[in-house]
Amino acid sequence: MSVEHLRTRGRPGTYEMVLTHIEGRLTSGELRPGDRLPPERELAAQLGASRQAVREALRVLQAQGVIRSQVGTGDGAGTIVVPAPARALGRVLQLHLAVDSFPVDDVTEARVMLERFSAGLAAGRRSATDLLGMAAELDAMDADLAPQAFSDADIAFHVRIAGAAGNRLVNELTVAIRESVRGLLLGAMHDDEWPELREQLRGEHRAIHAALRDGDGPGAADLMEAHIRRFHGGLAPGSAS
């Protein structure tokens, strides 16, 4: 995308224009981790933007963990593209999911798609350490836990399965979605029904773990989908994440 085209989009000089320019260079591969961005003054002149707009755009990118800025004259000085931290994508997505309103059916389908895939893959890729980690979360859930503490172990169990699948992107998406609906799922754990629901969830988790231990990918995937749909089916249809 040319600089002239950017200048015609929206009000020239805004930080959004600067962001669009830098994001375009990143997604095209023109900028890679370790590359240095032009100085503020030069970038502002290139884009016809104010230096304040450039600073604001760089602050946004720095907050997202995409760049690092350091004053001085040494090798590490200037604004440098850095590899994003492992949880950077997940944190951004989690926040967007938390503040947007998605119907329960949409959230259910997204979880089924991701976690069914993970369970099937994890059955063939899981290590003995993975299985032990999952078992530790199951043991924690066997205690007489209140909904909040049970939810923590529940999330950890699902995240361990996603991690055992070995797909980092799917893992980050799973964590983000699961964390974003924590409050919604906790709201479904009513006090009067909690002991019975807790026992049901324990049994479903144990069955999933057994399928993973036995290397039964299709079985683990089916059990995971049934588990998610059964629990989400108890949520109000009009609920949103």
DSSP string, 204-233: HHHHHHHHHHTT-HHHHHHHHHHHHHHHHT
pLDDT-wise least confident of 1-15, 16-30, 69-83, 147-161 = 1-15
Q: Which residue did the predictor score with more confidence, 114 or 60?
A: 114
- Decide if 49 contacts 17 (C-beta within 8 A): yes
Q: 88-232 falls under which CATH superfamily?
A: GntR ligand-binding domain-like (1.20.120.530)
Q: Which amino acid, one-letter code, is at 60?
A: V
- Whether the pLDDT of residue 3 is over 60: the answer is no
Residue 79, classed as helix, strand or coil, is strand
Residue 104 confidence class, pLDDT cut points 50, 70, 90: confident
Residue 134 confidence class, pLDDT cut points 50, 70, 90: very high
Residue 61, classed as helix, strand or coil, is helix
* Number of Cα atoms under 13 Å in the Cβ half of residue 100: 12
Specify which residues 186 forms β-bridges with. Answer: none
Residues in the chain: 241
Q: What is the DSSP letter of 31?
A: S
Residue 131, classed as helix, strand or coil, is helix
Question: CA dist 4 to 8, 12, 16, 21, 53, Å?
Answer: 7, 10, 15, 11, 17
* CA-based nearest residue to 86, from 197, 175, 179, 195: 175
Give the pLDDT score at 5: 47
Helix, strand, coil: what percent of the chain each, to 5?
65, 5, 30
Give the pLDDT score at 221: 98
Residue 84 confidence class, pLDDT cut points 50, 70, 90: low
The residue with tokens 């690092």 is: 68
Q: What mean pLDDT comes out for the span 219-234? A: 92
Using CB atoms within 10 Å of the CB of residue 137, give its burial: 0 to 12 exposed, 13 to 18 middle, 19+ buried.
buried
Mean pLDDT of the chain: 84
Q: Which residue did the predictor score with more confidence, 12 or 219?
A: 219
Give the pLDDT score at 234: 67
Q: Domain 3-81: give its CATH architecture.
A: Orthogonal Bundle (1.10)
Each domain of the chain, given as residue ranges in start order, spans: 3-81, 88-232
Q: What mean pLDDT comes out for the span 165-172? A: 90
Specify which residues 70 forms β-bridges with. Answer: 78
pLDDT in tens, 179-219: 877 777 787 777 778 888 899 999 999 999 999 999 999 99
Distance of CA 91 to the CA centre of its chain: 6
Q: Which residue did the predictor score with more confidence, 233 or 111?
A: 111
